[in-house]
Amino acid sequence: MTEIQRVTVYGSASSRIDPIFIEAGEALGEAIAARGWIQVNGGGRTGLMCAASDGGLRAGGEVEVVILEIFKERGFLHQGIPADKVFVEDNMPGRKKGLYERGDAYIGLPGGLGTYEELMEVLSWRQLGFHRKPIAMLNVDGFYDPLESLLLDSIRRGFVAEGFDSCWCITPDQNELLDWVAGYEPEDFGIGSKVGETRDFG
């Protein structure tokens, strides 16, 4: 079982979304704090990053953020995060690395292209065996149904490793999601676990 201290939360920077997503983000932030885990996120003052930070801080939890310099300069940093918990990076690969390395687990709230990219990266690196951490997506209002279908179809068609669906949890139930993260027993996946026969150059 992975010892969880920090959980990286990925999620939308957009606030132009249905309030049910904001409520779910706040509730997730509160629940992470209630488990005594430190939340790590992208530090935005908008959308679901903001909601998750608000929930975590309101519940008395610790929130650390890794934000791009340019976002901070433009006023997008959440103002409730203590200065010593704000880690500033000057480029996106550095920022994603900071979010990736800090977390003992990854949780995706609904989001857009940035969130997809972040989740696909941690999923892809899991398949390559670069980490063995749990990856969970909170399926608010069926948001992750299409991605789950795509991933399962990709396994069925041989594009993703057989059995890789053990590496993620997609559920609308926040407690089920956090229990899954807490009890996660990683299976072995690594370079070559999905590629099949290698060509014989005899």
Q: Does 12 bind ligand AMP (CB under 6 A)?
A: yes
Shortest separation between residue 123's beta carbon and ligand AMP, angstroms: 15
Measured distance CA(44)–CA(121) in Å, rounded: 20
Shortest separation between residue 112's beta carbon and ligand AMP, angstroms: 3
Nearest CB to ligand AMP, comparing residues 83 and 113: 113
Instruction: Report which residue type is found at 187.
Output: E
Measured distance CA(7)–CA(182) in Å, rounded: 11
Q: Which of 25, 29, 44, 56 binds ligand AMP (CB under 6 A)?
A: 44
Shortest separation between residue 58's beta carbon and ligand AMP, angstroms: 20
Nearest CB to ligand AMP, comparing residues 37 and 71: 71
**Which residue in the shown chain puts its C-beta closest to ligand AMP?**
114
Nearest CB to ligand AMP, comparing residues 13 and 33: 13
Shortest separation between residue 34's beta carbon and ligand AMP, angstroms: 23
Nearest CB to ligand AMP, comparing residues 61 and 98: 98
Nearest CB to ligand AMP, comparing residues 93 and 196: 93
Measured distance CA(84)–CA(176) in Å, rounded: 32
Measured distance CA(159)–CA(155) in Å, rounded: 6
Give the total of residues touching ligand AMP (CB under 6 A): 14
Instruction: Give the neighbor-by-neighbor strand order of the sheet with 6-10.
Output: 86-89, 63-68, 38-41, 6-10, 105-108, 135-138, 168-171
Q: Does 1 bind ligand AMP (CB under 6 A)?
A: no
Residues 62-121 that bind ligand AMP (CB under 6 A): 71, 76, 111-115
Nearest CB to ligand AMP, comparing residues 117 and 176: 117
Which spans of this chain sit near ligand AMP (rule: CB under 6 A)?
A: 10, 12-14, 42, 44, 46, 71, 76, 111-115
